[in-house]
């Protein structure tokens, strides 16, 4: 049974929305619809995520004056829609000197009463906020009466100032501190200052991208902040895919004891109403959670379920937001393409996915049969285009030039590039998006063909190590409730089938060891010796694999973008020079 609320609880609506970068008109319309819905729920306050009006991250769109102007015009219209409610919107602000701010607007009863500027700007990993924004200088505490939706500004806090008596809530107002994303990660920082000034509810607007383990990191952080500030924390996160980033939602409310009393679903939009007891002293009981078109609190996903949902959402939003109607995948009969196809079907529906088998003289009957079986199990359209005639034609064309030279990797790569050409022809003719199927283990070492199997508009499992591919393939079968990826795909040794009896392990270490090497060297920046010890590899093997990783940056720079899953993905996370003579030893 839910505990009884003290009279005058504060009803806060958390709008966990999926917006599109640059679609200011569409984002405005979505926010306006939610404002109307929230008014009907009798909420005191509705909050939207960081930069909800522009989408996150807007990157160099922020340098376009017209982009900033349109976002400010949309904000003005939305403020006019707040009659009867208080609302907080994330937007991009500009001052009289032309400086930009990552900002939150506080609107009440049709008036803009305050603009808060994010104080802590992240500039690491996937974040480049110091490239665009100026840091704010003042924390913000607002007074919110619980009896009516009329918020007034109680005053401004200067950085490092002492609490002022105006902020202590002696007039019965509920004091609310406002912050944006990184502000709550830095301590001491704005959030602690707001709590010292008397704020009993701390609202954080975020656009925090997902990687495996991020939900747990956030929860531990918010628990610490709630306990140290002795305040309620209402954390609102963006949801949706944006290029290689996925925002997983997972908004939550944490009470002053550090208990998570509400979790919004991950990877899904929703409007959630939470009621927090309105009292100046720290609360002693959990808040009641009132569902708005959703269950009160979402179940916690397992690690593999999280990753699968992230891949599905990232794929769906990339395809749909870029206005593709259909996806096409080269089905080799191997596990990488099978998992990519399963994710695509979960994201788009079977009617919007086509699988293409392109067998060569080296393709085994089993891999050809498995390609058909995957397509049949998923219920997708299946095409078979043998590449032997094209391969023979190219070999004949090059025969005189290659005279006297033995076949080598050149002929192997020709097969991959023929397949890439065929997939791109289908893409051009039918406006299908080619989904590349390479995994992180292969891309790390360059065990892939430029303009061949690297061809594609989007690389679904680009940041998924090979050992994770097997785990997620099992998850896919559980999600579909049947073996859409046959057992033979799991048990057959991985092979590119570009020459007789070829196996991946002819070139690479066993994937279990290779993935330990990649994690230590690429994701954790370990030294050569540390990597060798962690991976339990020989010195010769370490030297060979690390050289492969270092020399193949040029390939990775030309690869399609893909969904970030690990804490450090290639691309935005890890930026290495291609022309580079550094060697550790």
350 is catalytic: no
Asked if 236 and 203 touch (Cβ cutoff 8 Å), the reply is: yes
As a whole number of angstroms, the distance between CA 19 and CA 294 comes to 19
**Pick from 30, 49, 38: nearest CA to 13:** 38
Ordered DSSP codes for 234-297:
EEEE-EEEETTEEEEB--EEE-TTS-EEEEPPBS--EEEEEEE---SSPP-SPPEEE-SSS-SS
Distance of CA 2 to the CA centre of its chain: 34
The residue annotated as part of the active site, out of 50, 306, 442, 497, is: 50
The 3 state secondary structure assigned to 79-120 is HHCCCCCEEEEEEEEECCCCCEEEEEEEEECCEEEEEEECCC
Distance from C-alpha of 36 to C-alpha of 54, rounded to nearest angstrom: 20
Tokens 């990826």 correspond to 485
User: Across 392-528, where does the E strand assignment appear?
Assistant: 433-436, 458-459
The single residue of 39, 181, 368, 462 carrying the catalytic annotation is 181
> Which residue out of 39, 118, 368, 440 is catalytically annotated?
118
Are 32 and 17 in contact by the 8 Å Cβ rule? The answer is no
By the 10 Å C-beta count (0-12 exposed, 13-18 middle, 19+ buried), 127 is classed as middle
Residue 270 and residue 253: Cα distance in Å, rounded?
15
Reply yes or no: is the peptide bond before residue 518 cis, omega within 30 of 0.
no
Could you give the 3-state DSSP secondary structure of residue 567? coil
CA distances from 386 to 362, 398, 428 (A): 11, 20, 20
Other C-beta atoms closer than 10 Å to the C-beta of 483 total: 15
Give yes or no: 564 in active site.
no
Residues in Cβ contact with 133 at an 8 Å cutoff, skipping those fewer than 6 apart: 62, 100, 101, 102, 118, 121
What count of other Cβ atoms lies within 10 Å of the Cβ of residue 7?
9
Whether residue 118 lies in the annotated active site: yes
Q: Which active-site residues does the annotation give?
A: 50, 118, 181
């Amino acid at each position: 049974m839910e505990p009884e609320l003290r009279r005058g609880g504060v009803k806060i609506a958390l709008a966990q929305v999926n917006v599109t970068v640059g679609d200011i008109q569409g984002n405005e319309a979505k926010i306006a619809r939610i404002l109307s819905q929230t008014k009907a729920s009798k909420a005191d306050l509705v909050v939207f995520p960081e930069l909800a009006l522009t989408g996150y991250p807007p990157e160099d769109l922020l340098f376009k004056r017209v982009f900033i102007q349109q976002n400010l015009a949309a904000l003005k219209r939305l403020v006019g829609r707040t009659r009867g409610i208080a609302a907080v919107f994330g937007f991009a602000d500009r001052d009289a000197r032309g400086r930009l701010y990552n900002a939150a607007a506080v609107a009440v009863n049709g008036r803009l009463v305050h603009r808060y500027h994010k104080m802590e700007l992240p500039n690491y990993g996937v974040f480049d906020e110091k490239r665009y924004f100026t840091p704010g200088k003042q924390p913000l505490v607002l007074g919110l009466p619980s009896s009516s939706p009329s918020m007034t500004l109680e005053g401004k806090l200067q950085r490092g100032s002492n609490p002022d008596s105006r902020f202590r809530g002696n007039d019965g107002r509920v004091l609310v501190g406002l912050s944006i994303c990184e502000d709550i990660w830095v301590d001491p920082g704005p959030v602690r200052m707001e709590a010292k000034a008397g704020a009993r509810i701390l609202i954080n607007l975020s656009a925090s991208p997902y990687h495996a383990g991020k939900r747990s990191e956030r929860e531990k952080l918010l628990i610490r902040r709630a306990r140290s500030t002795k305040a309620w924390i209402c954390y609102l996160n963006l949801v949706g895919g944006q290029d290689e980033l996925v925002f997983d939602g997972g908004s939550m409310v944490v009470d002053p004891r550090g208990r998570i009393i509400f979790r919004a679903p991950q990877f899904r939009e929703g409007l959630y109403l939470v009621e927090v007891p309105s009292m100046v002293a720290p609360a002693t009981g959990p808040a009641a959670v009132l569902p708005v078109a959703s269950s009160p609190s979402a179940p916690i996903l397992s690690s593999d379920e999280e990753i699968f949902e992230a891949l599905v959402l990232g794929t769906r939003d990339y395809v749909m937001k870029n206005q593709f109607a259909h996806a096409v995948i080269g089905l080799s009969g191997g596990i990488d393409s099978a998992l990519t196809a399963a994710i695509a079907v979960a994201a788009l529906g079977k009617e919007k996915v086509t699988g293409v088998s392109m067998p060569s003289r080296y393709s085994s009957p089993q891999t050809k049969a498995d390609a058909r079986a995957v397509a049949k199990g998923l219920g997708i359209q299946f095409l078979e285009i043998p590449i032997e005639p094209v391969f023979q034609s190219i070999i004949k064309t090059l025969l005189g030039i290659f005279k006297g030279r033995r076949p080598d990797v050149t002929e192997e790569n020709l097969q991959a590039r023929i397949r890439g050409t065929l997939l791109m022809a289908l893409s051009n003719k039918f406006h299908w998006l080619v989904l590349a199927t390479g995994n992180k283990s292969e891309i790390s070492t360059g065990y892939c063909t430029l303009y061949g199997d690297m061809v594609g508009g989007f690389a679904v499992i680009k940041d998924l190590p090979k050992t994770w591919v097997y785990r997620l393939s099992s998850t896919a079968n559980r999600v579909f409730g049947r073996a859409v990826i046959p057992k033979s795909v799991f048990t057959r040794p991985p092979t590119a089938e570009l020459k007789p009896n070829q196996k991946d392990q002819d070139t690479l270490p066993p994937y279990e060891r290779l993935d330990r090497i990649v994690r230590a060297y690429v994701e954790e920046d370990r030294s050569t010796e540390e990597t060798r010890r962690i991976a339990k590899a020989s010195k010769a093997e370490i030297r060979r694999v690390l050289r492969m990783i270092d020399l193949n940056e040029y390939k990775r720079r030309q690869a399609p973008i893909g969904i970030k899953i690990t804490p450090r993905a290639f691309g935005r996370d890890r930026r290495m020079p291609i022309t580079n003579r550094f060697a550790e030893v």
